[in-house]
Amino acid sequence: MIEINNLSFSYDNQKQALENINIKTADRTITAILGHKGAGKTTLFKCIMGLLKPSHGLIKVNNMFNDMLPYDEYISYLPDKGGFYSLLTPWQNLIFRGSRHNKNKKEVKELASDYLHKLELNNMKNKISGMLSKGMQRRLALACTLINQPKILILDEPTNGIDQVSSEIIISILKELKHKCNSILINTHDLVLVGAVCDNIIVLNKGKLIEEKKVEDIGMNLRKYYLDVVDSYK
Ligand SMILES: Nc1ncnc2c1ncn2[C@@H]1O[C@H](COP(=O)(O)OP(=O)(O)O)[C@@H](O)[C@H]1O
Ligand SMILES: [Mg+2]
């Protein structure tokens, strides 16, 4: 469970990127954070991860304050760009990331093989990661995010700008993860992904939370619904 109370954040004490945000996610759910570019989505994720210190407010993850969390063992973050070492191979990236956690070598190797297989990267495992296609690189970044088997997953635009096949592979792994993780937050513009895996949506606009709804209550046209919500705040 992620609980955010009265969160505000300003860059350089000037520009208010987040204003009085309140969010509570339930266990075994996926929540999509939607909003146009500059709405504050990435800033929100960086606050949850402790990479930015809120100007005001509190964040709790599974009832622990976010600055007290044993991060590596608990929560994992897919940044909007990168997320792996370009000069290492996928296999080396996964072994390196996995061995940072308290797991033995055999277990790390098994997990690396498992994720390479699930994300359909097995025949690329010994190539230089920086040479892979954009979609494969995004799948690798996701595998690196998953190798510590986190209870809480924070994914910043997991399918942005990638090919259809990679998107579908990522969507299918998210469906599987939903039953394993306590909470998953995804910041995305990909409404196909939202319709396929998310339980709830939250819409940010210019740093404010303007809408919160269950996907099942929206009905068929998610895109029209989202654009109407954002337009009504112009
Ligand atoms: N490092 C930064 N310094 C100053 N302003 C920033 C910085 N990063 C983001 N911003 C500003 O904060 C606002 C929210 O940005 P961001 O959280 O990246 O939005 P989103 O992820 O929704 O596109 C934007 O107006 C953006 O220009
Ligand atoms: Mg962003």
User: Which ligand 1 atom sits closest to the C-alpha of 36?
Assistant: 22
| Helix (H), strand (E), coil (C) string for 166-227 | HHHHHHHHHHHHCCCCCEEEEECCCHHHHHHHCCEEEEEECCEEEEEEEHHHCCCCHHHHHH
The DSSP bridge pattern shows strands 56-61 and 64-65 to be antiparallel
Assess if residue 91 is contained within a domain: no
Q: Is the pLDDT of residue 1 over 80?
A: yes
Assess if residue 123 is contained within a domain: no
Residue owning tokens 């929540």? 31
Nearest ligand to the C-alpha atom of residue 38:
1
| 79 contacts: CB under 8 Å, gap ≥ 6 | 141, 156
pLDDT for 210: 95
CATH of the domain at 171: 3.40.50.300
User: Given pLDDT bands bounded at 50, 70 and 90, which one contains residue 71?
Assistant: low
User: Given pLDDT bands bounded at 50, 70 and 90, which one contains residue 85?
Assistant: very high
Q: What is the pLDDT of residues 87-105, one digit of tens each?
A: 999 999 999 999 887 678 9
Q: Is the pLDDT of residue 53 over 80?
A: yes
User: Which ligand 1 atom sits closest to the C-alpha of 187?
Assistant: 21
Q: What is the pLDDT of residues 113-160, one digit of tens each?
A: 999 999 999 999 999 999 999 999 999 999 999 998 988 999 999 999
Tell me if 18 CB under 6 Å of ligand 1: no
pLDDT for 63: 83
Number of structural domains, the chain? 1
Tell me if 17 CB under 6 Å of ligand 1: yes
pLDDT for 231: 87
Assess if residue 64 is contained within a domain: yes
Assess if residue 133 is contained within a domain: no
Assess if residue 50 is contained within a domain: yes
Rounded to an integer, what distance in angstroms lies between the CA atom of residue 192 and that of residue 200? Answer: 14
Assess if residue 90 is contained within a domain: no
Domain boundaries, position 65: 2-83+154-231
Tell me if 39 CB under 6 Å of ligand 1: yes
User: Hey, what are 179's tokens?
Assistant: 């039953």
Q: How far is the CA of 38 from the centre of ligand 1 (A)?
A: 5
Nearest ligand to the C-alpha atom of residue 44:
1
Rounded to an integer, what distance in angstroms lies between the CA atom of residue 157 and that of residue 188? Answer: 5
Q: What is the pLDDT of residues 182-229, one digit of tens each?
A: 899 999 999 999 999 999 999 999 999 999 999 999 977 999 999 998
